[in-house]
Chains A and B, each alone.
Chain A
Amino acid sequence: MKHTISVLVENEFGVLARVSSLFSGRGFNIDSLSVAPTNDETISRITLETRGDEQILEQINKQLNKLIDVIKVIDFTDGSGIERELALVKVTAEDESRAEVLRIVDIFRAKIIDVTARSYTIETTGAPAKINAILELLRPLGLKELVRTGPVAIGRGSKGWKG
Chain B
Amino acid sequence: MKMNGARILLECLKKEGVDTVFGYPGGTVINIYDELFSCKEIRHILPRHEQAGTHAADGLARATGKVGVVIATSGPGATNTVTGIATAYMDSIPMVIITGQVPTPLIGNDAFQEVDIIGITRPCTKHSFLVRDVKELATIMKKAFHIARTGRPGPVLVDLPKDVQIAQTEFKYPETIELRSYKPTVEGHPKQIERAISMLLASKKPVFYVGGGAILAEAAGELTALCDLLDVPVTTTLLGLGAYPEDRPNSLRMLGMHGTYYANMAMSDTDMLVAVGARFDDRVTGKLSTFAPHAKIIHIDVDPTSIKKNVRVDLPIVGDVKDVLVKMIKEAQAHPDKVAAFKEAIIPWKSEIEGWKAKHPLTYKHAASTIKPQYVIEKLRELSEPDVIVTTDVGQHQMWTAQFFTFTKPRTLLTSGGLGTMGYGLPAAMGAQAAFPERQVITICGDGGVQMNIQEMATLVQNGLPVKIVILNNNFLGMVRQWQELFFDKRYSQTCMELPIDYVKLADAFGAKGYRATKTDEVEETIKQGLAHDGPVIMEFMIAREEKVLPMVPAGASLNEMVLNA
What residues of B have a CB within 8 angstroms of the CB of A66 in the complex?
303-305
B253-309 contacts to A, CB under 8 A, are 303-305, 308-309
**B308: contacting residue among A25, A55, A65, CB under 8 A:** A55
Q: Taking CB as reference atom, which chain A residue is nearest B128? A: A14
Whole-angstrom distance between the Cβ of B34 and the nearest chain A Cβ: 28
A54-76 contacts to B, CB under 8 A, are 55, 58-59, 62-63, 65-66, 68-71
Is A62 touching B305 in the complex (CB atoms < 8 A)? yes
A123 at the binding interface (Cβ < 8 Å): no
Q: Taking CB as reference atom, which chain B residue is nearest A8? A: B181
Is A58 touching B308 in the complex (CB atoms < 8 A)? yes
Q: Taking CB as reference atom, which chain A residue is nearest B306? A: A62
Q: Taking CB as reference atom, which chain A residue is nearest B181? A: A71
B108 at the binding interface (Cβ < 8 Å): no
Q: Taking CB as reference atom, which chain B residue is nearest A71? A: B181
**A62: contacting residue among B130, B147, B180, B304, CB under 8 A:** B304
B112-132 contacts to A, CB under 8 A, are 118-119, 122-123, 126-128, 130, 132
A152 at the binding interface (Cβ < 8 Å): no
B182 at the binding interface (Cβ < 8 Å): yes
Count of B residues near A, CB < 8 Å? 19
Q: How far is the CA of A68 from the CA of B303 in the complex (A)?
A: 13
B1 at the binding interface (Cβ < 8 Å): no
Is B181 touching A70 in the complex (CB atoms < 8 A)? yes
A9 at the binding interface (Cβ < 8 Å): yes
B179 at the binding interface (Cβ < 8 Å): yes
Is B308 touching A17 in the complex (CB atoms < 8 A)? no
Interface residues on A, range: 10 to 19
Q: How far is the CA of A18 from the CA of B123 in the complex (A)?
A: 8
A10 at the binding interface (Cβ < 8 Å): yes
Q: How far is the CA of A65 from the CA of B126 in the complex (A)?
A: 13
What residues of A have a CB within 8 angstroms of the CB of B180 in the complex?
71
Interface code A56-99, partner B: CB below 8 Å = 1, 0 otherwise?
Answer: 00110011011011110000000000000000000000000000
What residues of B have a CB within 8 angstroms of the CB of A63 in the complex?
305
Is A14 touching B147 in the complex (CB atoms < 8 A)? no
Q: How far is the CA of A130 from the CA of B308 in the complex (A)?
A: 37
Given A9-B181, A10-B181, A68 and B308 contact (CB-CB distance below 8 Å):
no
Interface code B305-321, partner A: CB below 8 Å = 1, 0 otherwise?
Answer: 10011000000000000
Q: Taking CB as reference atom, which chain A residue is nearest B303? A: A66
Is A59 touching B123 in the complex (CB atoms < 8 A)? no
Q: Taking CB as reference atom, which chain A residue is nearest B118? A: A14
Interface code B129-149, partner A: CB below 8 Å = 1, 0 otherwise?
Answer: 010100000000000000100
A1-57 contacts to B, CB under 8 A, are 9-10, 13-14, 17-18, 21, 25, 55
Is A21 touching B123 in the complex (CB atoms < 8 A)? yes
Q: Taking CB as reference atom, which chain B residue is nearest A69? A: B181
What residues of B have a CB within 8 angstroms of the CB of A69 in the complex?
181
What residues of B have a CB within 8 angstroms of the CB of A9 in the complex?
181
Q: Taking CB as reference atom, which chain B residue is nearest A60? A: B305
Whole-angstrom distance between the Cβ of B242 and the nearest chain A Cβ: 27
Whole-angstrom distance between the Cβ of A124 and the nearest chain B Cβ: 36
Is A17 touching B182 in the complex (CB atoms < 8 A)? no
Whole-angstrom distance between the Cβ of B289 and the nearest chain A Cβ: 15
Is A68 touching B127 in the complex (CB atoms < 8 A)? yes
What residues of B have a CB within 8 angstroms of the CB of A17 in the complex?
119, 122
B80-128 contacts to A, CB under 8 A, are 118-119, 122-123, 126-128
Q: How far is the CA of A65 from the CA of B305 in the complex (A)?
A: 9
Whole-angstrom distance between the Cβ of B492 and the nearest chain A Cβ: 35
What residues of B have a CB within 8 angstroms of the CB of A71 in the complex?
180-181
**B122: contacting residue among A21, A55, A62, A70, CB under 8 A:** A21
Given A59-B305, A68-B179, A13 and B130 contact (CB-CB distance below 8 Å):
yes
Q: Taking CB as reference atom, which chain B residue is nearest A9? A: B181
Whole-angstrom distance between the Cβ of A21 and the nearest chain B Cβ: 6
Whole-angstrom distance between the Cβ of A138 and the nearest chain B Cβ: 40
Whole-angstrom distance between the Cβ of A20 and the nearest chain B Cβ: 10
Is B126 touching A68 in the complex (CB atoms < 8 A)? yes
Whole-angstrom distance between the Cβ of B120 and the nearest chain A Cβ: 11
Q: How far is the CA of A89 from the CA of B119 in the complex (A)?
A: 36
Whole-angstrom distance between the Cβ of A54 and the nearest chain B Cβ: 10
Q: How far is the CA of A17 from the CA of B127 in the complex (A)?
A: 12
Is B118 touching A59 in the complex (CB atoms < 8 A)? no
Q: How far is the CA of A69 from the CA of B180 in the complex (A)?
A: 9
What residues of B have a CB within 8 angstroms of the CB of A25 in the complex?
123
Is B147 touching A68 in the complex (CB atoms < 8 A)? yes
What residues of B have a CB within 8 angstroms of the CB of A21 in the complex?
122-123
Is A68 touching B182 in the complex (CB atoms < 8 A)? yes
Q: How far is the CA of A66 from the CA of B304 in the complex (A)?
A: 8
Whole-angstrom distance between the Cβ of A22 and the nearest chain B Cβ: 9
Whole-angstrom distance between the Cβ of B133 and the nearest chain A Cβ: 12
Is B179 touching A18 in the complex (CB atoms < 8 A)? no
Whole-angstrom distance between the Cβ of A28 and the nearest chain B Cβ: 13
Is A59 touching B309 in the complex (CB atoms < 8 A)? yes
Q: How far is the CA of A14 from the CA of B123 in the complex (A)?
A: 13
Q: Taking CB as reference atom, which chain A residue is nearest B179? A: A68
Q: How far is the CA of A9 from the CA of B304 in the complex (A)?
A: 19
Q: Taking CB as reference atom, which chain B residue is nearest A22? A: B123
What residues of B have a CB within 8 angstroms of the CB of A10 in the complex?
181
Q: Taking CB as reference atom, which chain B residue is nearest A62? A: B305
Q: How far is the CA of A65 from the CA of B130 in the complex (A)?
A: 22
Beyond the given pairs A55-B308, A66-B304, A71-B180, 10 more chain A to chain B contacts, judged by CB atoms under 8 angstroms and listed by A's residue number, are: A9-B181, A10-B181, A14-B118, A17-B122, A21-B123, A25-B123, A59-B305, A59-B309, A63-B305, A68-B179
Q: List 18 A-B contacts (CB under 8 A).
A: A9-B181, A10-B181, A13-B132, A14-B128, A21-B122, A21-B123, A25-B123, A59-B308, A59-B309, A62-B304, A62-B305, A63-B305, A66-B303, A66-B305, A68-B126, A68-B127, A68-B147, A70-B181
Q: Which B residues contact A (CB, under 8 angstroms)?
A: 118-119, 122-123, 126-128, 130, 132, 147, 179-182, 303-305, 308-309
